[in-house]
Amino acid sequence: MKRINGDSIKLTFEEIERIVNRPLTTSAYKHKVWWADGGHSHSNYWLKVGWKVEKIDLENYVILSRV
């Protein structure tokens, strides 16, 4: 989490997999809608701890910002 800048953080998919200690689903790599805030049970994990998805690049990273 070395890329925290104020109220946002940029994480590669590999970094997220290390944090959650398991691989992301194939859908996370292929579909931006997988990262949508709300509507999916997995999005509750980052929303409950005060983060929302700001930007997603399916090739490499996600940027989260504090709610």
Would you kindly state where each structural domain of the chain is located, as residue ranges? Answer: 4-66
pLDDT in tens, the chain (67 residues): 455 667 899 999 999 999 999 999 999 999 999 999 987 888 998 999 899 999 999 998 999 999 8
Q: Looking at residue 62, what is its pLDDT?
A: 95
Q: Looking at residue 2, what is its pLDDT?
A: 55
Stated pTM of the model:
0.84
Which residue matches tokens 């996370």? 28
Q: Looking at residue 5, what is its pLDDT?
A: 65
Answer whether 35's CB lies under 8 Å from 46's CB: no
